Chains A and B, each alone.
Chain A
Amino acid sequence: MTISGARCLMKALTHQKVSTIFGLPGGQIMPVYDALLDSGIRHILVRHEQSAVHMADGYARASGRPGVCMATSGPGATNLVTGIATAYMDSSPVVAVTGQVPRPQIGTDAFQEADIVGITTPITKYNFQVRRAAEIPGTVKTAFHIATTGRPGPVLIDIPKDVQIETAEVEFSEPVRIRGYRLTGDPDSTEVEKAVELLSDAERPFILAGGGVRISNACEELRMLAELLCAPVGSTLMGKGCFPEDHPLSLGMVGMHGKTEANRLILEADVLFAIGVRFSDRTICKVDKFCPKAKIVHADIDSAEIEKNKEVDVSIVGDASKVMCAIRSRLVHRFRKEKRSEWHTRVEQLKEVVREKNNNHEDGLAPPAILKKMRKILPANAIVTTEVGQNQMWAALHFSALGPRTFITSGGLGTMGFGFPAAIGAKIARPDVPVVDIAGDGSFIMTENSLATSVSEQIPVIVVILNNRMLGMVAQWQRQFFNGRYSAVELGNVPDFVKLAQAYGAEGLRAQSLEEFTSALENALKNGVTTVIDVPISPEENVLPIVPPGNGLEQVLEV
């Protein structure tokens, strides 16, 4: 058939089963926006392009399907950059489409021209500039294939305006062929065998689960392996939720702000099985002090992660689900549980000690109490997103995630302003479950204008602002590591978030006590409208435990 590049794009996206695009139009993408009207694809209009990509990312993380965002050339495209980098660091399948100046103007510094392909090369899994309309079907198909397979990641497609207008004879059925893109095969059986030997002989095994487990939908496989091995499971921030945190073997997050019991026990382990992790500095802290005596088995789908950050004893390149299945099927015949009773007792005891200690600390409107209350109110399948900073670490520590894809956070890049638009994207993917953004005042204000989208597109999400009138995490570090000298962290009591929400036509509430918070959240869930709950907390509250930067996990500062 002969159609315009713009219509061809819409058709190609429809072929990929795209039902929603998050975006904001501009001069160099107008032909596409015109074709969008006839496409049957829902468009969510944002107020800033950064939010469009976070929404697409939130959609992708909540559903496992690729999220799509769109922007015009120049500033529209560069406004996507933070969100693309966020998706890249957390391996999220986002496809970004940008308009570009017409081909003859490329390289002339034309109005709203930016080299977005050059700019996004280091923060995309791949990117394209389409030079002919006839290339569009193949490019879109290739883009989605690359974004969603192997280790997923964002892909950008840049389309000059004249290519959007140009008509071409197009063919949609051609298969994708990319010579340099090989998908990881089955895990190497020799390495699997070595892992099985280590794990079956281990006296104190520990499983560290990362985001790869969620991406590979391997959560059930992980549970079976952990139960077979009687091994406690700690997670990275990205792995939170892939092992139910109310499970007796769950220890919660490991790392700089990890749980005491998780950080202690990982250092006591004799065999560490790290699955779908990349040993980020925030998880392992000082690299040579991280499990120096343990035998480490590292499994990841990306071979470039093997020995990038941490030397290991056994490495398996493969999909998390396949790796664990291979290990479990060999382990099941030769493993005796009774060997582990001592380790099991140790795990139970330490968990109990920490639990009792923490029980003495839960009073008033402190973040841990708020988050624990929130867990009690929200259904198990509710999705929680977070902003970045203290709010995020409190949420990671005190809000138990019970299932995969229910805890969505910017882990690698640590992007303030991510949580709220990501919540909107998640709500589009999962309209059947409540979605709550756990926010700080400093982060929320960065993408607060998404309230306009949430209200006008009727995508009801709940924002809980743990409001300390501070850039809280920076303030905490200044208190702890810079002699208490506050530099540029005091935000003051502005704006009034209740009035701000109301100005956008959303519900705005303030909770001054745990009782008020409970009724505000319960009402928000009942009403089903976009609600901002402002919860004033102490500006001096620290997130604890913390491993001070530059130290090993054993140097944890406790509550």
Chain B
Amino acid sequence: MTEQAFIVGTVVANKPGVLHKISNMFRRRSFNIESISVGPTEEKELARMTITLLGNEWAARQLVKQLEKLIDVVSVTVLDQKKTVLRELALVKIVAADSKTRSDVIDWANIFRGQVVDASPESIIVEVTGTPDKIDAFIELAKGVGLKETSRTGVTALERGPRTINSEKRGYQNG
């Protein structure tokens, strides 16, 4: 089975220690986690956690089952990436001391539908939002002129259409 990225959407209890319990399970069972993004939900006592797992289908199935077993996890779904809106946000600080570089960076930011959110005499910060691939591509460009620093949020995701993660107990689905 081949390695790939799985996006796992979870809804978890929003209370102290939950992130530790979940991330500790990943370490304990040797899951290869690329990113985790966490935030509150429309319900005060729940938080949403989006996990990117690198692995094969067996690992994805195991991850879902191990997550479901955790008492603080309310629901788990491996998201079908074709039917899901995936987004990641990155802040990218680029060296841009001369006007040529500055205008190049601003052009690239426009092409990537990013925004310049800070500028100083030596550097510019660009905010880029999109799929991880798009952000990787922007960072590659930035490396060409002088990448200083990046900060990425990790992937967050919602399925298209009316279906929600809570609409049924779903777990792992093929395809």
- Residues of A in contact with B (beta carbons under 8 Å apart): 117-118, 121-122, 125-126, 129, 146, 178-182, 302-304, 306-308
Q: Tell me whether B74 and A179 are in contact (CB under 8 A).
A: yes
Q: Tell me whether A122 and B68 are in contact (CB under 8 A).
A: no
Quote the shortest CB–CB distance from B111 to chain A (angstroms).
44
Chain B residues lying within 8 Å of A129, measured Cβ to Cβ, are 17
Q: A75–B65 Cα gap in the complex (Å)?
A: 34
| A121 partner, pick from B20, B69, B74, beta carbons under 8 A | B20
Q: Tell me whether A121 and B21 are in contact (CB under 8 A).
A: yes
Q: Tell me whether A308 and B71 are in contact (CB under 8 A).
A: no
Q: Tell me whether A307 and B61 are in contact (CB under 8 A).
A: yes
Q: Can you offer 21 A-B residue contacts whose CB atoms are under 8 A?
A: A118-B20, A121-B21, A121-B24, A122-B24, A122-B25, A125-B71, A129-B17, A179-B13, A179-B45, A179-B46, A179-B74, A180-B70, A180-B72, A180-B73, A302-B69, A303-B69, A304-B62, A304-B65, A304-B66, A307-B58, A308-B65
Q: A178–B169 Cα gap in the complex (Å)?
A: 16
Q: A121-B20, A129-B17 are in contact. Are A178 and B71 (CB under 8 A)?
A: yes
B61, B62, B65, B74: most-surrounded residue (chain A CB, <10 A): B65
Q: A118–B17 Cα gap in the complex (Å)?
A: 9
Chain A residues lying within 8 Å of B96, measured Cβ to Cβ, are none
Chain B residues lying within 8 Å of A180, measured Cβ to Cβ, are 12-13, 70-74
Q: Tell me whether B71 and A126 are in contact (CB under 8 A).
A: yes
Asked if B44 is an interface residue, CB under 8 A from chain A, the answer is no
- Residues of B in contact with A (beta carbons under 8 Å apart): 12-13, 17, 20-21, 24-25, 28, 45-46, 58, 61-62, 65-66, 68-74, 169
Q: A302–B46 Cα gap in the complex (Å)?
A: 25
Given contacts A122-B25, A126-B71, 14 further A-B contacts (CB under 8 A): A117-B17, A178-B71, A179-B45, A180-B71, A180-B73, A180-B74, A182-B169, A303-B65, A304-B65, A304-B66, A306-B65, A307-B58, A307-B61, A308-B62
Chain B residues lying within 8 Å of A126, measured Cβ to Cβ, are 71
Quote the shortest CB–CB distance from A334 to chain B (angstroms).
32
Chain A residues lying within 8 Å of B17, measured Cβ to Cβ, are 117, 129
Chain A residues lying within 8 Å of B28, measured Cβ to Cβ, are 122
Q: Tell me whether B71 and A304 are in contact (CB under 8 A).
A: no
Q: A121–B45 Cα gap in the complex (Å)?
A: 21
Q: A518–B17 Cα gap in the complex (Å)?
A: 55
By beta carbon, the residue of chain A nearest B18 is A180
By beta carbon, the residue of chain A nearest B73 is A180
Count how many pairs of residues, one from A and one from B, have CB atoms less than 8 Å apart in the complex.
Answer: 41
Q: Tell me whether A303 and B21 are in contact (CB under 8 A).
A: no
Q: A178–B73 Cα gap in the complex (Å)?
A: 10
Quote the shortest CB–CB distance from B22 to chain A (angstroms).
10
Q: Tell me whether B68 and A303 are in contact (CB under 8 A).
A: yes
Q: A308–B66 Cα gap in the complex (Å)?
A: 10
Q: A118-B20, A121-B21 are in contact. Are A181 and B71 (CB under 8 A)?
A: yes
Chain B residues lying within 8 Å of A146, measured Cβ to Cβ, are 71
Chain B residues lying within 8 Å of A181, measured Cβ to Cβ, are 71
Chain A residues lying within 8 Å of B68, measured Cβ to Cβ, are 303-304
Q: A102–B169 Cα gap in the complex (Å)?
A: 40
Chain B residues lying within 8 Å of A302, measured Cβ to Cβ, are 69
Chain B residues lying within 8 Å of A179, measured Cβ to Cβ, are 13, 45-46, 74
The 9 A-B pairs at the shortest CB distance, nearest first, are namely A304-B65, A180-B74, A122-B28, A179-B74, A304-B69, A181-B71, A126-B71, A180-B73, A121-B24
Chain B residues lying within 8 Å of A118, measured Cβ to Cβ, are 20
Chain A residues lying within 8 Å of B74, measured Cβ to Cβ, are 179-180
Chain A residues lying within 8 Å of B73, measured Cβ to Cβ, are 180
By beta carbon, the residue of chain A nearest B12 is A180
By beta carbon, the residue of chain B nearest A131 is B16
Quote the shortest CB–CB distance from A549 to chain B (angstroms).
21
Q: A180–B73 Cα gap in the complex (Å)?
A: 5
Q: A361–B73 Cα gap in the complex (Å)?
A: 55
Q: A302–B13 Cα gap in the complex (Å)?
A: 21
Q: A306–B58 Cα gap in the complex (Å)?
A: 11
Quote the shortest CB–CB distance from B165 to chain A (angstroms).
13
Quote the shortest CB–CB distance from B63 to chain A (angstroms).
10
Chain A residues lying within 8 Å of B61, measured Cβ to Cβ, are 307
Chain A residues lying within 8 Å of B45, measured Cβ to Cβ, are 179
Chain A residues lying within 8 Å of B12, measured Cβ to Cβ, are 180
Q: A178–B15 Cα gap in the complex (Å)?
A: 13
Quote the shortest CB–CB distance from A212 to chain B (angstroms).
15
Chain B residues lying within 8 Å of A182, measured Cβ to Cβ, are 169
By beta carbon, the residue of chain B nearest A123 is B28
Q: A302–B62 Cα gap in the complex (Å)?
A: 12
By beta carbon, the residue of chain A nearest B169 is A182
Chain A residues lying within 8 Å of B21, measured Cβ to Cβ, are 121
Quote the shortest CB–CB distance from A156 to chain B (angstroms).
12
Q: A393–B13 Cα gap in the complex (Å)?
A: 43
Quote the shortest CB–CB distance from B21 to chain A (angstroms).
6
Quote the shortest CB–CB distance from B155 to chain A (angstroms).
22
By beta carbon, the residue of chain A nearest B17 is A117
Chain A residues lying within 8 Å of B169, measured Cβ to Cβ, are 182
Q: A117–B28 Cα gap in the complex (Å)?
A: 16
Q: A122–B21 Cα gap in the complex (Å)?
A: 8
Chain A residues lying within 8 Å of B24, measured Cβ to Cβ, are 121-122
Q: A117–B24 Cα gap in the complex (Å)?
A: 12
By beta carbon, the residue of chain B nearest A151 is B69
Chain A residues lying within 8 Å of B71, measured Cβ to Cβ, are 125-126, 146, 178, 180-181
Q: A125–B21 Cα gap in the complex (Å)?
A: 11
Q: A306–B73 Cα gap in the complex (Å)?
A: 19
B25, B28, B71: most-surrounded residue (chain A CB, <10 A): B71
B61, B68, B69: most-surrounded residue (chain A CB, <10 A): B69
Chain A residues lying within 8 Å of B65, measured Cβ to Cβ, are 303-304, 306, 308
Q: A126–B71 Cα gap in the complex (Å)?
A: 7
Q: A179–B65 Cα gap in the complex (Å)?
A: 16
Quote the shortest CB–CB distance from B14 to chain A (angstroms).
11
